């Protein structure tokens, strides 16, 4: 029997992206971009293919160093920190293509959490077996509660490589939730997901926001953006060309022009 799970252990999640530049040789993939993701809100990041959205995500999450500018999380400067330190400050991300351990079950995938458990120190297995067993049980209970929250209980014993692409997206979300995030960067949660499951994913994201989490979401599906986001930032050719409420940015002539000129996915 699992206990109801609440995503409310951290507070905050405000992300301030200021004048960020990231180039690849002559291409300024992110060109002097500034915007703020409000704590406990859902900000969408949209733009045509090649706009620089993924590069900005990678820069914020610490996997790509930035050339200039700054990234602040809850007032703490995080650009230049290693990805695991940024993770430690509560910023976690998912990937456009889910990356589960295909030969492990859904439950095992969700139980793979950051270092620091007693069982990871091998001598504990002999000297303090009770502690290791208690930690293992607490981890399993927490994983099962999060799996239930994500609606994955029916498939928790299946191999993660054998479930649908949409369910794998939910496994990614569950894994991120195990890391106790303040802010989650979601990379195209709707890509390749059937409409029924997409409604469920949207509902879970809305519930997590209600519980105090903050989101920055890259998404090409405008229905998802319109139903979830309270703020939208629009990039094109590396630059931020508009930001505001969803209804404002979709009516903005610069945005319409960028999509018509750049081709919408
Ligand atoms: N590792 C890299 N090396 C060289 N150029 C890159 C690299 N990564 C991205 N780019 C270039 O940077 C620009 C922005 O790409 P990016 O993938 O960030 O855009 P995007 O908005 O995420 O696009 P999509 O919606 O198609 O995923 C593109 O011109 C791309 O070719």
Q: Ligand 1, from 45, 48, 50: best to mutate by most atoms within 8 Å of Cβ?
A: 50
Q: β-strand 91-93 against 76-77: which pairing, if any?
A: unpaired
Give CA 25 to chain center in angstroms. 28
Total residues belonging to the chain = 265
Burial class (CB in 10 A: 0-12, 13-18, 19+), 145: middle
3-state secondary structure of 205: helix
**Nearest-angstrom CA–CA distance, 170 and 174:** 6
**Nearest-angstrom CA–CA distance, 160 and 61:** 25
Residue 243 pairs with which residues in a beta bridge? 233
**Nearest-angstrom CA–CA distance, 82 and 59:** 11
- Give the pLDDT of residue 99: 78
Indicate the pTM of the whole model: 0.89
3-state secondary structure of 158: coil
Element (DSSP H or E) covering residue 170? helix 165-178
CA of residue 52 to ligand 1 center, whole Å: 5
- Determine whether the shortest distance from the Cβ of 29 to ligand 1 is under 6 A: yes
- Give the pLDDT of residue 122: 56
- Give the pLDDT of residue 121: 56
Residue owning the nearest CA to atom 3 of ligand 1: 24
- Give the pLDDT of residue 265: 40
- Please list the pLDDT of the chain residue by residue as tens digits (265 residues): 445 667 656 678 899 999 999 999 999 999 999 999 999 999 999 999 999 999 999 999 999 999 999 999 999 999 989 988 998 899 998 877 777 888 899 999 999 865 444 455 555 556 666 666 777 788 899 999 999 999 999 999 999 999 999 999 999 999 999 988 999 999 999 888 898 899 999 999 999 999 999 999 999 999 999 999 999 999 999 999 999 999 999 999 999 998 877 544 4
Count the Cβ atoms, other than its own, within 10 Å of residue 139.
17
- Give the pLDDT of residue 136: 79
Could you tell me if the ipTM is greater than 0.95? Answer: yes
Residue 36 pairs with which residues in a beta bridge? 16
Q: β-strand 68-73 against 15-24: which pairing, if any?
A: antiparallel
Q: Ligand 1, from 28, 30, 54, 240: best to mutate by most atoms within 8 Å of Cβ?
A: 54
100 contacts: CB under 8 Å, gap ≥ 6: 106, 109, 160, 161, 168, 171, 172
- Give the pLDDT of residue 174: 94
């Amino acid at each position: 029997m699992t206990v109801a799970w609440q995503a409310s252990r951290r507070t905050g999640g405000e992300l301030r992206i200021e004048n960020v530049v990231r180039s690849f040789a002559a291409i300024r993939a992110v060109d002097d971009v500034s915007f703020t993701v409000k704590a406990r809100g859902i900000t969408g990041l949209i733009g045509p293919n090649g706009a620089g959205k993924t590069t900005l995500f990678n820069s914020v999450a610490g996997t790509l160093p930035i050339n200039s500018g700054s990234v602040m999380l809850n007032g703490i400067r995080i650009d230049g920190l290693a990805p695991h330190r940024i993770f430690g400050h509560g910023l976690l991300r998912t990937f456009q293509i889910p990356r589960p351990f295909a030969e492990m079950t859904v439950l095992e995938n969700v139980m793979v959490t950051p270092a620091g458990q007693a069982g990871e120190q091998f001598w504990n297995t002999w000297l303090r077996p009770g502690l290791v067993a208690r930690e293992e049980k607490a981890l399993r209970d927490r994983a099962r509660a999060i799996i239930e929250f994500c609606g994955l209980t029916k498939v928790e014993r299946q191999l993660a490589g054998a479930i649908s692409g949409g369910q794998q997206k939910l496994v990614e979300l569950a894994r991120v939730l195990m890391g106790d995030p303040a802010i989650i960067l979601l990379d195209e949660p709707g890509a390749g997901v059937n409409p029924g499951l997409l409604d469920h994913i949207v509902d879970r994201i809305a519930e997590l926001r209600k519980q105090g989490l903050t989101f920055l979401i890259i998404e090409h599906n405008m229905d998802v953006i319109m139903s979830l986001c309270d703020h939208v930032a629009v990039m094109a050719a590396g630059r931020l060309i508009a930001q505001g409420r969803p209804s404002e940015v979709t009516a903005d002539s610069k945005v319409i022009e960028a999509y018509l000129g750049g081709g919408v996915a």
